[in-house]
Structure 1
Amino acid sequence: MSLSFAPSEDGAIPLFVITEDGFEAWVSESDAAVQGWVRAQGFKGSLGQGLSIPGPDGAPQMALAGFGTARARARGRFHLAAAAGKLPAGTYRIAAGLPEDQRETEAFGWLLSQYRFDRYAKQSAADRLLVAPDGIDAARIETLANSEALTRDLINTPASDMGPADLEKAARALAAHYGAEINVITGDDLLEQNLPMIHTVGRAADQAPRLIDLRWGDAGPRLTLVGKGVCFDTGGLNLKPGASMGLMKKDMGGAAAVLGLARMIMGTGLPLRLRVLIPAVENAVSGNAFRPQDILTSRKGLTVEINNTDAEGRLVLADALALADEEAPDQIISMATLTGAARVAVGPDLAPYFSDEPDFVAALEEAAARHADPVWRMPFHAPYETMIEPGIADLDNAPKGGFAGCITAALFLRRFVTDSAYAHFDIYGWQPAEAPARAKGGVGQATRALYGALPALLDL
């Protein structure tokens, strides 16, 4: 589905955005019929309230959206989308009340409130279109919204239709649309081209493992995105219990996120040289699955002791990161649904990230606030390096003890980047319950924040 603003404001219903503090002033200036209707319906400008006001013929003559108080708004985001869900089908235009500095975010949220994953079953919903508010770049906002929709669609698709080959197909479609180059290394060719850990993790599955390599742009700073593409994770021989396996179609959420971010970059024509690397595998159980206590040799030459086959994401990312680092781009960013420890630390709504670069942190934090895309900085805590050093090999893929799991995973990945600025995002990629502009299911995290940070970060 395509998310877009109304093509015209002809016949659009005027929508007044009203705070609790401003309600009495607004209603007192209205005619008696409107006052009576609004008060009878209990509208007071509370956050997320939506009310349609009929005219003499019964058709809506205007609508109201409650914008609450500053304190209430601070506890959530996409408040206009919450109100939109309570309005009847129709086309709306903002008549008054929406602060200028919130127009882009609220318009973006309205677009995302129209998202439905309808590949397998029709999703009925009222069609509520919005005329793009004055002063926003409507085309850019539509690109961001549809890029987020791509990420959601990829995550929501079950592994039966989103295996490594299907993920490759999605990447090829994106590359073709924007004129990007794409190369894919598959199966035993991974061994021949020195990507052994990607091959090892994925070799037990029916669909061959692969590395997807997309390039776009011929001038500007170099940005490389690396996304974890584990299309389904059984845990391997360290088999997950059923309850833990239920959401593992989303274990390629990092790949979905970097493809969504790549679409934002290409769709808005940012002047940079983009590379996207996605190790696409299934972590399956078979006679040739890799085993606990195996020792693997990575592309970088570092050896890794396998103490849990369910810690496979860092293995495939490690080879891809080593490959990315060989070009020494200006910035490498990895995104992955990597650890349960990150969820325990910050919950599903925040995207924890790791960076030691002050300029990166400053640019990202500012953009995250501006785009209503929350992130939380976590530390590359050097004293924990010993926790990933087992002695029998250079690295341990699953340190014992259970402490600081997202930090030790990030430290593991950092060992494979030595010549480039590096940041890592340990995202969840899933909205566990319905929220304004966020349907239950797959969701993008930190991609809009990163998109907004790139101009400052890379001097674009």
Structure 2
Amino acid sequence: MKLPACYLAAADAGQTRPLHIVDRDGYAAWRTAQPARVVAWLDAHGFDAAPASSLVLPGDDGGPGAAVLGVGDRLDPCAYAHAPRALAAGDWSPAGDPAADTLRALQLGWGLGSYTFDRYRTPKPPRARLVLSEADPETVDLLAATARVRDLVNTPTQDMGPEQLEDVAGDIARAHGAEFVAITGGVLLERNFPAIHAVGRASHRAPRLLVLRWGDAAHPHVAIVGKGVCFDTGGLDLKPADGMRNMKKDMGGAAHAIALAELVMARKLPLRITLLVPAVENAIGPEAFRPGEVISTRTGVSVEIDNTDAEGRVILGDALAYAAEHTPDFILDFATLTGAARIALGPDLPALFSNDDALAQAWLDAGMEVRDPLWRMPLWRPYLRYLTSKVADLANAGSKMAGSVTAALYLERFVPEGLPWAHLDTYAWNDTDRPGRPAGGEALGLRAAYAMLKARAGR
């Protein structure tokens, strides 16, 4: 197993410095056990083991000799994520004998805090490395999956259009022996994916549906769907400049879906997966779909386009219908779908919608367990009245009321009754830098989804 650059195997380490991990409850006892000179240093700096605090302790030679990290929740990876940038350059080894779950959280948090997106600038070596006596392989894969989401979302649109997203998914499929096909351009119409084609037809970059299949037919089957709008101008209902600035992130749902499928395959979970990513660019041109047009969908439901900036749900409708045709045990979809979800819950809490209480609760519980929280929102079906059309079966928008709810209700129309389905409306972005949460692309709800799938596979 190849370790990321922020880690170092103990067998390869030379001189290391001890890293003490303390919380406020245990700080007094730890402080009492330290030499008098260390106690004096701690007191002189007012160190009290507050969460996200750190202090380098002097060595006998006057240089850094050790360090102490103040943490809060020991099972939260982000409790440790300040360490890589707060500590002096060098190799750091956990002191004492931390519990296994603490070590896993430290390992993941260190990796999350070390992440940088350096594709377009000169990379810098990690300042501080964590020495691991035995790296946890699952944690390494979880870090890789998070980095996959961040990298895909952070990559500018000129290098992450529908064709590049296809390349990424195809490479992952080949690496894990999965079946892979892309249904592209006019073939979408031949294969009855008219809504995906309608949204993407104006771009010089052909729309497509990416399809990956993996696993044993005897195993539980999950369909994973991700919104892949690689750039969203808003279409003819053009976004204002500030709303368009970060629309390279509108394929964040696809990034989550791809990373989750890759993680399931890397960990060889006893599951069968079908990954579906409708990948388009919502562009402006002579072929752009227009407000007031009525478009066809895979299920035969006609949709009046009320707003061309509500395009994500349109492409997901075809993908969800196709997912259902595979008769999975349940469907998960990820989408950067609505600003309304961010207004309701802010940037850190993805909005979860589901037609199945057990599935929703399993995802919520997994999120709490792995400190990757999400929040359930209601599928309040009386609000379907906001999607009423006078000329078609359904409108794709129509009201500013309950925007994330009506978007989820639109998607539910394309999921057959009785088929468990959960939809995550995720921001996939950090607006500011915080320890373990660098500004830019972010995985939100991904680790929770994996933990849920792992538990279900185990049953």
**2:353 aligned with 1:354:** yes
1:215 aligned to which of 213, 216, 219: 213
Q: Structure 1: which 4+ aligned runs deviate by more than 6 Å?
A: none
**2:152 aligned with 1:128:** no
1:205 aligned to which of 169, 193, 203: 203
Instruction: Tell me the CA shift for residue 39 of structure 1.
Output: 2.4
Instruction: Tell me the CA shift for residue 133 of structure 1.
Output: 7.3
SS at match of 2:86: coil
Contact in 2 for aligned 1:53/1:62 (Cα 8 Å): yes
**2:267 aligned with 1:268:** yes
**2:19 aligned with 1:15:** yes
RMSD (Å), alpha carbons:
2.0
Unaligned runs of 5+ in 2: none
2:300 matched to which residue of 1? 301
Matching residue's letter, 2:10: S
Contact in 1 for aligned 2:85/2:127 (Cα 8 Å): no
1:36 matched to which residue of 2? 40
Matching residue's letter, 2:91: T
Distance 2:48 2:458 in 1: 46
Superimposed CA distance per residue, residues 108-149 of structure 1 (whole angstroms, 9 cap, x where no aligned partner): 111111111000012546432223477xx7100000001110
Aligned length: 453
Distance 1:185 1:24 in 2: 62
Distance 1:255 1:266 in 2: 17
Superimposed CA distance per residue, residues 205-244 of structure 1 (whole angstroms, 9 cap, x where no aligned partner): 0110001001111241111111000000001111111111
**2:79 aligned with 1:79:** yes
Matching residue's letter, 1:6: L
1:230 matched to which residue of 2? 229
Contact in 1 for aligned 2:270/2:457 (Cα 8 Å): no
SS at match of 1:81: coil
SS at match of 1:399: coil
Identity of aligned residues (%): 45
SS at match of 1:160: helix
Contact in 1 for aligned 2:19/2:68 (Cα 8 Å): yes
What is the TM-score of this pair, normalised by structure 2? Answer: 0.94
1:176 aligned to which of 174, 177, 182: 174
Contact in 2 for aligned 1:3/1:115 (Cα 8 Å): no
Distance 1:65 1:337 in 2: 35
Superimposed CA distance per residue, residues 253-299 of structure 1 (whole angstroms, 9 cap, x where no aligned partner): 00001111112111111011111100100000001111000001101
Matching residue's letter, 2:197: H
With 19-28 and 343-352 compared, the bigger mean Cα shift is at 19-28
**2:88 aligned with 1:88:** yes
Distance 2:44 2:26 in 1: 18
Contact in 2 for aligned 1:354/1:425 (Cα 8 Å): yes
Distance 2:383 2:235 in 1: 27
Matching residue's letter, 2:244: M
Contact in 2 for aligned 1:4/1:142 (Cα 8 Å): no
Superimposed CA distance per residue, residues 145-164 of structure 1 (whole angstroms, 9 cap, x where no aligned partner): 01110110000001111111
C-alpha spacing 1:338/1:133, structure 2 compared with 1 (3 Å) = farther
C-alpha spacing 1:261/1:3, structure 2 compared with 1 (3 Å) = farther
1:258-337 equivalent positions in 2, closer than 5 A: 258-337=257-336
1:432 matched to which residue of 2? 431
SS at match of 2:159: coil
C-alpha spacing 1:77/1:130, structure 2 compared with 1 (3 Å) = closer
1:53 matched to which residue of 2? 57
Instruction: Tell me the CA shift for residue 31 of structure 1.
Output: 1.7
Contact in 1 for aligned 2:10/2:133 (Cα 8 Å): no
Superimposed CA distance per residue, residues 399-444 of structure 1 (whole angstroms, 9 cap, x where no aligned partner): 22x1111111101101111062111011100011111211100001
Matching residue's letter, 1:257: H
Unaligned runs of 5+ in 1: none
Instruction: Tell me the CA shift for residue 77 of structure 1.
Output: 6.2
Instruction: Tell me the CA shift for residue 53 of structure 1.
Output: 1.6
2:404 matched to which residue of 1? 406
C-alpha spacing 1:3/1:370, structure 2 compared with 1 (3 Å) = farther
